[in-house]
């Protein structure tokens, strides 16, 4: 796995050993960032369930001003630290260690993000729990783009009721990216 473009282009990244992470393939990562790159420069990025940190590192390499990584697996945390050091992007990054919902609560009032990416364990309902939390959070604003990587079988039928508008969905062989914005309030 490598950084696709930007200041750290072509640098190889470590991935954690074991079956607990599913690194996003270079091809899928390239497709994702080709879709969001025009708005990414100088933005703030939150990488939830960060694994190796490859998605957040790609965002930093392509010009994001800052990225916060959230991960609880100790091997993955070490991988993120090693990858940030290797790519020389550690000064624009911070790492929240622990479970996602606790980390989000700790970030409240300190951060507001332009992009939030999450790649939670498949088929465990994390997408809905995190989106439910974020909808009333200070971490998002009306134009925050939320991107969820999920299995093809994952249903997002609850989005409208949860306060989100589906912007776009990109399907791959075994998974998909779902792009969301917070629903616009009628009073805005």
Q: How far apart are CA 86 and CA 82, in angstroms?
A: 6
- The full set of domain ranges for the chain reads 26-182
Higher pLDDT, 49 or 15: 49
> Distance between terminal CA atoms of the chain?
43
Cα dihedral 114→119→123→124 (10° resolution): -80
CATH class of 26-182: alpha beta
**Residue 108: Cβ within 10 Å count:** 10
pLDDT, tens digit, for every residue of 98-145? 999 999 999 999 989 999 999 999 999 999 999 999 999 999 999 999
DSSP structural state of residue 139: T
How confident is the prediction for the chain on average, in pLDDT?
90
Q: What angle do CA 160, 23, 141 make, to 5 degrees?
A: 35
With a CB cutoff of 8 Å and minimum separation 6, the contacts of 58 are: 3, 4, 5, 6, 29, 33
Written as one string, the DSSP assignment of 156-185 is -TTHHHHTEEEEEEEE-SSEEEEEEEEPPP
With H, G, I as helix, E, B as strand and everything else as coil, classify residue 86. helix
Q: Are 181 and 148 in contact (CB under 8 A)?
A: no
Q: Given this model, what pLDDT does residue 134 score?
A: 97
As a whole number of angstroms, the longest Cα–Cα distance in the chain is: 49
Predicted confidence (pLDDT) at residue 19 exceeds the cutoff of 80: no
Q: Given this model, what pLDDT does residue 185 score?
A: 66
């Amino acid at each position: 796995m490598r950084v696709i473009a930007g200041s750290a282009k072509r640098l190889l990244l470590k991935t954690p050993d074991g079956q607990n992470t599913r690194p996003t393939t270079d091809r899928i990562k390239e497709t994702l960032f080709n879709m969001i790159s025009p708005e990414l420069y100088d933005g703030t990025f939150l990488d939830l369930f960060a694994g190796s940190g490859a998605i957040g590192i790609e965002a930093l390499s392509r010009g994001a001003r800052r990225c916060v990584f959230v991960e609880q697996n100790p091997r993955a945390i070490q991988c993120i630290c090693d990858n940030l050091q290797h790519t020389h992007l550690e000064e624009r990054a911070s790492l929240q260690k622990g479970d996602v919902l606790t980390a989000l609560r700790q970030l409240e009032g300190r951060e507001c993000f332009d992009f939030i990416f999450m790649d939670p364990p498949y088929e465990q309902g994390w997408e809905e729990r995190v989106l439910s939390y974020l909808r009333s959070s200070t971490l998002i604003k009306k134009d925050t783009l939320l991107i969820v990587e999920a299995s093809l079988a994952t249903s997002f039928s609850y989005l409208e009721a949860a306060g989100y508008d589906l912007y776009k969905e990109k399907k791959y062989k075994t998974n998909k990216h779902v792009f969301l914005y917070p629903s616009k309030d009628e009073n805005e």
